Amino acid sequence: MRSALAVIVAFMLLTPLAGAYQVPERGMVYQVMVDRFYDGNASNNGPFYDPSMSNYRLYWGGDIEGLTKKLDYIASLGVSMIWVSPLNDNINRMASSSAPYHGYWTRDYKRIEEHFGTWEDFRELVEEAEKRGICIIVGYVPNHAGPATDGEFGSIYDNGTFITHYYEDAKNATRNPYTGSVDGIYHHNGNINDWFGFQLKYANLFGLADFNQLNPWVDSYLTEGALLFADSGACGFRIDAVKHMDLGWLESFYLRLYSKGPLFIYGEYYSLSPDKTDDLYELYRYSNVSPVLNIPIRESIVRTFALFGGLDALSEELEDYYSLFTYPNKQLNFLDSHDLVRFLNAAGRKDRVERFHMALALTMTLPGIPVIYYGDESYLVSGDGKGDPYNRPMMVFNNTTEAAHIIRTLAELRKTNDALAFGDFKTLYSDYNTWAFERTFGSHKIFVVMNKGAPRNLTVPLDWDAGTYRDALSGAGMRVVGGKASLELPRNSFYVFHAEEEQGEPLIGSVTPYTAQPGQRVLIGGAGFGSSGRVIIGGVEARVISWNSTEILVEVPEVKTRKAWLDVVVETGGKASDPAKLRYYSGNDVPVLLVVNATNITGQLWIRGSLPELAEPRPLLKSPTGHYFTVVPLPNGTTFEVELYRGLRWEGLEPVNVTLYGFVNSTTVVLGKNPVEMPGETPSETEPPERGWDWVIILLAAGVLLAVIWKWKGS
């Protein structure tokens, strides 16, 4: 009897929680820095604890138990997802005169930081949050461990077992002949100082020990660490510093996490301007591998409301920005964060609180999922300073403010009005001080109007039924007559009008995640789905797991295709939806290091190939040793062809008329001759090009095209 009980208890501990997967666009994220939120257990506060809360670089006592105790408060704001700062075990020493209270200096990816609690505390947080309709998104930091030359010198542990530190690892590191990177568990290529190309990914970010994710141990370790959170019920991840890792590794990492369910994963790609690009920025923006925080447009929004700037210019910039994405509504909008100066600290204006309300309401109504930084609802700012670390004061709880009213009202409206969740984005009127935009999704509509200048009247064409509409925030009225809306707009006013009718035909708003491989479950959000029907993905019927009028959970079928994006169609009641897009991967993908041995060649090279993974051009990086390379997730055991391109931008790519071949296996891939046509031979030489290009000749002279798969386990 006792052993049966033990088995049941063990089973309960091992069985993953169902997880409160959600259609993220219908929700809102509340960002919490755990140490600065609420102290729920005073026994875990030390060491490096400052009870006076005056030294911003020490622990102040916040923990997972504290967060759980405050879930009712968070739920009162209409929140559906909480993004917690990284919870993994961090270094036990000070570095750069700071304790790792922020959670970004990990020493053990299998353990929870003792200042924050235990795995049991985390599971309790997930369960209690789920009872309130909230799910937990975990900050995860796979780019780097702690500081390499300070603190614990990049010491890393596997569930308590010491593995190595940065100096010990350096002794065993070797130079990869293709990437030129000096690799062990970490990269040993110094600090990033040119912020471009190779260094961006293969050198230490601000002196933090940069992981070599192509090392099989590192790859498994980082993946297992993240899976522990997914198995404990996390519904998603905020991945730190995606700009500093190989995109192909991230893709294969995400695919393995998605095997747990329709997680919501988004990245932090730090870039203050939408115009600045590094070699892979274009790829992130265009290939839509995962949503990212909208850092570039955040700058413009804050400047326009906190300082100066025209709403007409802002509206154009935002429309351009959103047009870059297949799923702009899955991108994340925010005003404040732990990295940037809080709006109220940035604004020097007398009317800064009114302007903050406007910017907050805009964040909640633009395309994209709103992220509210803890304390925005209570006007939290520090009197001691502005940016990091002063943008992380101890939380002040107050959910009775005007800011809290704006957040709560618009968060609740997002749950019922799909124009906020999935709608398009169309400016109907704009000038320096006034902006009116409409968003529509089927029979759901919203109309947003704001004025930051002198009081005025506005009449705008609006194709809504005649009648009087009420603003969701203040109850102000708008009359629509003959396809025209007339409004009175006081200074610093912000109105959100909405209309909802029943959706008669199936309409897809989103697919979560929108990158998928066969067997993986994806959540389709939309309207008019009825109570049953069929889902067709890439022409193949998908197995339906659950179905209601606004959400369908399906399993992605295997599709014979070379395309990157597949159509997803919902059929119900004899009607079919317009297709939505799904970024398809063949399955059984492993991260492959593809190398083009093309020394002496200058310029930007790209490859495109015969598998879905290679269907969109991928830029090649140039190594310090002169090779071109990239990391790509490819299906193990598959032959493939790639073509080379040259150019700077997607639109400007020129084909080079060279076809190269490969075979993905668990050791090495050599590209040259088609391994299918020449069984038994070792492919080595490239085929001659049809026409002469100087650099192709150099390429041939350089000899061979090589691709090396890094998964050398067992070889």
Which active-site residues does the annotation give?
240, 268
User: 120: which 2 tokens?
Assistant: 């049991």
Nearest residue to the partner Ca ion, using Cβ: 244
Dist CA 540 CA 518 (whole Å): 11
- 484: β partners: 461, 481
Of residues 63 and 210, the one with the C-beta less far from Ca ion: 210
Dist CA 393 CA 187 (whole Å): 34
Of residues 143 and 409, the one with the C-beta less far from Ca ion: 143
Residue 244 binds which entry of ligand NOJ, Ca ion, none, CB below 5-8 Å type-dependent: Ca ion
Residue 210 binds which entry of Ca ion, ligand NOJ, none, CB below 5-8 Å type-dependent: Ca ion
Question: What 3-state class would DSSP assign to 330?
Answer: helix
- Cβ contact 321:358 at 8 Å: no
Dist CA 168 CA 711 (whole Å): 23
Of residues 193 and 602, the one with the C-beta less far from ligand NOJ: 193
Residue 221 binds which entry of ligand NOJ, Ca ion, none, CB below 5-8 Å type-dependent: none
Residue 472 binds which entry of ligand NOJ, Ca ion, none, CB below 5-8 Å type-dependent: none
- Interface positions with Ca ion (CB under 5 A): 143, 201, 210, 244
- Cβ density class 466-475: b for 16+ within 10 Å, e for less: eeebebbbee
Of residues 241 and 380, the one with the C-beta less far from ligand NOJ: 241
Cβ count near 500 (within 10 Å): 16
* Distance of closest approach, residue 104 Cβ to ligand NOJ, in angstroms: 4
* Distance of closest approach, residue 632 Cβ to Ca ion, in angstroms: 17
Residue 93 binds which entry of ligand NOJ, Ca ion, none, CB below 5-8 Å type-dependent: none
- Interface positions with ligand NOJ (CB under 6 A): 104, 141, 240-241, 268, 338-339
If residue 81 lies in a helix (H) or strand (E), which one and from where to where? Answer: strand 81-84
Number of helices and strands (H, E) in the chain? 16, 42
Dist CA 423 CA 408 (whole Å): 20
- Cβ contact 541:568 at 8 Å: no
Residue 241 binds which entry of Ca ion, ligand NOJ, none, CB below 5-8 Å type-dependent: ligand NOJ
Dist CA 396 CA 459 (whole Å): 41
Residue 632 binds which entry of Ca ion, ligand NOJ, none, CB below 5-8 Å type-dependent: none
Residue 319 binds which entry of Ca ion, ligand NOJ, none, CB below 5-8 Å type-dependent: none
CB neighbour list of residue 146: distance below 8 Å, 6 or more residues apart: 90, 91, 95, 100, 105, 106, 107, 152, 153, 154, 155, 208, 209
Of residues 338 and 618, the one with the C-beta less far from ligand NOJ: 338
* Distance of closest approach, residue 669 Cβ to ligand NOJ, in angstroms: 33
* Distance of closest approach, residue 244 Cβ to ligand NOJ, in angstroms: 9
Of residues 130 and 210, the one with the C-beta less far from Ca ion: 210
Instruction: Locate the DSSP E strands across 86-160.
Output: 88-90, 106-112, 135-140, 144-147, 156-158
Q: Would you put residue 590 in left (φ > 0), alpha (ψ -120 to 50) or beta?
A: beta
Where does 196-273 have alpha helices with state H? 197-202, 216-231, 247-258
Of residues 169 and 376, the one with the C-beta less far from Ca ion: 169
* Distance of closest approach, residue 271 Cβ to Ca ion, in angstroms: 16
CB neighbour list of residue 636: distance below 8 Å, 6 or more residues apart: 588, 589, 590, 664, 665, 666
Pairing type for strands 29-32 and 534-537 reads: unpaired
* Distance of closest approach, residue 101 Cβ to ligand NOJ, in angstroms: 11
Of residues 229 and 425, the one with the C-beta less far from ligand NOJ: 229
- Cβ contact 428:401 at 8 Å: no
Dist CA 196 CA 162 (whole Å): 33
Residue 141 binds which entry of Ca ion, ligand NOJ, none, CB below 5-8 Å type-dependent: ligand NOJ
* Distance of closest approach, residue 616 Cβ to Ca ion, in angstroms: 23
Of residues 150 and 210, the one with the C-beta less far from Ca ion: 210
* Distance of closest approach, residue 290 Cβ to ligand NOJ, in angstroms: 16
* Distance of closest approach, residue 22 Cβ to ligand NOJ, in angstroms: 23
Dist CA 463 CA 428 (whole Å): 11
The gap from C-alpha 60 to its chain's centroid, in whole angstroms, comes to 28
